[in-house]
Structure 1
Amino acid sequence: MPLSPELYSPDARTRLLVVAPHPDDETIGTGELLQLVRASGGEVRVLLLTDGDDNPWPQRWLERRLWIGGEDRARWGRRRRGEVAQALQRLDIPLGALQAMGWPDMGLTALLRERAPSALARLVEQLVAFRPNVVALPALGDRHPDHGSAHVLMRLALAEGGIEPPLLLGYLVHGREEPAGNVTPPADVGRHAAKLGALSAHGSQMALSAGRMRRLTDRPERYDRVARPPGDREAGALPWQPRAWHSRLRLTVASPDGVQHWRWNQAPLRRDGQGRYRLVDVPTAPCFARLDMDVPSPWIFDRWGWCEL
């Protein structure tokens, strides 16, 4: 029988940093937590990684256009960033709490692979400036690629940031919620109503997906307390056993030692006595691996995604 969720009680010393890959994640994932920390006298900051500009179908619908060029996307991104500001206002969060990075929507995995040092340096600047003692970040197992990669980026930035390790709370937007090990804010009708009101500020997303958005936002907020996995005397085991398309699969490994990626059939792997694939050399912890298929697809969600080694 799963344990009851642990109630989270912040106080005036709380400094909460919310990591939001896209506009609306701050509301769906942490709308009540943000209000709770503010009501407790704590400080909050929302780190918006992208402006959500690669969001073509709602834009086509609302703007009555088929072709979307670079200027159109930039305009859409400005609209969505403005929606975040309105949503935070409805949550009684000051506009100065919003810090926008302006990174590419649907591009955080590529950013991690190709420009990790500069991206991590910017995140470390944010961490050192705010010095959070609580960080709410997307769950590693979230099936949206930007969410999983946002988790990895923030974990690596924390590993090199030189600040006291904060409490890490992972929130899930896309995927199946785990029943155990959850932390939750105390239920409050007023905070929940304000959260639903904040969602309505994201009009660009409500146009085509209002029902789904309300279902996501109406769920009780639950967070997994993020902790390093227990050690293994044979470290570096991967959870995947791919049997086809080896030449099109891509393995990415990210750690404080750097980020590397290979075709699966060229990766430095070995098979152990149980038939599992393992990295030949295990990087410094925290270490994350990602498996994906290097082919264009209209399906945006991950099949394999990230794991922590």
Structure 2
Amino acid sequence: MEIPVGLRLMVFSPHPDDETLAAGGLIQRVLEKGGSVRVVFVTNGDGYTEGVRTSLKEKNTSSNDFIEYGEKRHDEALGALRALGLQPENGIFLGFPDDGIDDLWSQHWSSIRPYTSPYTRYSRPEYKERFSRWTEYAGMDLKEEISRTLEGFIPDWIVLPDPRDYHPDHCTTGVFVLDAVRQLNEKGDISFSETKIFTYLVHYFDYPSSNQWIKEISVTGIGGTRAAGKVLASAQWYNLHLTANELEGKKRALAAHHTQIQVLGEFLKEFMRSDELFCQLSSTQTLNIPIEYAARFKRSRS
């Protein structure tokens, strides 16, 4: 995987820590080669019950506990960005509902009937970084926020969660980004001749601990279903081999995510390897994946 000089890279992270696990090395490489990076955190990771209970050291929780947990994960994400060579302003926090991104796509597309997080009790982004006070927890609003981040930066490369990831927040975040890119391409704001789309896995069978996942991925659709399976089958995977310094930087960034190490330490350490893998999507795949997935929920156009 060759990284051009002066690349403009935008990485979409469903939760704080995914940016480090999947692309911590890539981010450092882009910066080293004179490029610029933006990391978009779609949620603050404020719906992780086991994490909140571990942090509090008790089983009973309140909505305020989840909100405070989301704020803590926000601050940890800023620490991770610094460890990767970025500044706080290079992180964009959308504040959408953890453990609810798939619900926005399938059941709460319209802002007329927004989703309410069962954890924070929010029905709109209430964190201080929100783009607009009028934004609701609705699929159409999340797509609009993603489009605004893309239009505000115009990246050369967009890196997003692979739609085949088993985690609902991950796979659906990937589809949301692809849908925003599709629409911007139709408007003429993004050209596929100039913009490359790459995906990454975090939650998938035997990934990254063994190569068994390779045998499964070619017959997998969105979220492990059959949806868009044929569209995704031909996607090509690329390897980025990290230097010793880049791997050390990635480890420092992971260490900033204290709350996650408490609960998922052994799993997270699996990603501290000398290689990062990315799947490149063609323009045809980028255009067709969100359309096919929208049709599954009886939306002919998403």
The two structures have a TM-score, normalised by structure 2, of 0.73
Tell me how far 1:218 sits from its aligned partner: 2.7
Q: Cα 1:185–1:54, aligned 2, differ >3 Å: closer, same or farther?
A: same
Identity %, equivalent residues: 26
User: Please, which of 23, 38, 48 is the counterpart of residue 30 of structure 1?
Assistant: 23
SS, match of residue 165 in structure 2: coil
User: Please, which of 202, 206, 209 is the counterpart of residue 261 of structure 2?
Assistant: 206
Tell me how far 1:121 sits from its aligned partner: 1.3
Q: What amino acid is aligned across from residue 61 of structure 1 in structure 2? A: T
Deviations 1:87-107 (A, max 9, x none): 111111111110000000011
Using the alignment, how far apart are the partners of 1:63 and 1:259 within structure 2? 42
Using the alignment, how far apart are the partners of 1:218 and 1:126 within structure 2? 30
User: Please, which of 279, 291, 294 is the counterpart of residue 255 of structure 1?
Assistant: 291
Deviations 1:17-43 (A, max 9, x none): 000000100000000000000011111
The alignment status of 1:189 with 2:244, answered yes or no, reads yes
Corresponding residue of 1:300: none
User: Please, which of 187, 191, 211 is the counterpart of residue 164 of structure 1?
Assistant: 191
The alignment status of 1:105 with 2:98, answered yes or no, reads yes
Tell me how far 1:216 sits from its aligned partner: 2.5
Question: Aligned residue pairs: how many?
Answer: 238
Using the alignment, how far apart are the partners of 2:178 and 2:200 within structure 1? 14
Tell me how far 1:211 sits from its aligned partner: 1.3
CA contact (8 A) 1:112 1:259 kept: no
Corresponding residue of 2:32: 39
Ranges in structure 2 where 5+ consecutive residues have no aligned partner: 109-137, 206-212, 216-234
Corresponding residue of 1:294: none
CA contact (8 A) 1:254 1:260 kept: no
Tell me how far 1:81 sits from its aligned partner: 0.8
Corresponding residue of 1:245: none
SS, match of residue 143 in structure 1: coil
The structure carrying a bigger strand percent of its residues is: 1
Using the alignment, how far apart are the partners of 2:180 and 2:8 within structure 1? 17
Question: Runs of at least 4 residues of structure 1 off by over 4 A?
Answer: 256-260
Corresponding residue of 1:70: 63
Tell me how far 1:66 sits from its aligned partner: 1.3
The alignment status of 1:118 with 2:111, answered yes or no, reads no
SS, match of residue 52 in structure 1: coil
CA contact (8 A) 2:236 2:281 kept: no
Corresponding residue of 1:244: none
Tell me how far 1:186 sits from its aligned partner: 3.6
CA contact (8 A) 2:243 2:274 kept: no
Tell me how far 1:11 sits from its aligned partner: 1.0
Corresponding residue of 2:169: 146
The alignment status of 1:91 with 2:70, answered yes or no, reads no
CA contact (8 A) 1:49 1:100 kept: yes
CA contact (8 A) 1:53 1:77 kept: yes
Using the alignment, how far apart are the partners of 1:198 and 1:151 within structure 2? 23
SS, match of residue 44 in structure 1: strand
SS, match of residue 270 in structure 2: helix
Tell me how far 1:229 sits from its aligned partner: 5.9
Q: What amino acid is aligned across from residue 261 of structure 1 in structure 2? A: F
Using the alignment, how far apart are the partners of 2:261 and 2:81 within structure 1? 17
Answer with 52-61 or 103-112: which moved more.
52-61
CA contact (8 A) 1:36 1:185 kept: no
Q: Cα 1:201–1:78, aligned 2, differ >3 Å: closer, same or farther?
A: same
The alignment status of 1:224 with 2:279, answered yes or no, reads yes
The alignment status of 1:173 with 2:196, answered yes or no, reads no
SS, match of residue 36 in structure 1: helix
CA contact (8 A) 1:18 1:135 kept: yes
The alignment status of 1:9 with 2:32, answered yes or no, reads no
Using the alignment, how far apart are the partners of 1:208 and 1:110 within structure 2? 25
Q: What value does the CA root-mean-square deviation take over the aligned residues? A: 2.4
Tell me how far 1:254 sits from its aligned partner: 5.0
Corresponding residue of 1:301: none
Q: Cα 1:109–1:134, aligned 2, differ >3 Å: closer, same or farther?
A: same
Q: Which has the higher Rg, Structure 1 or Structure 2?
A: 1
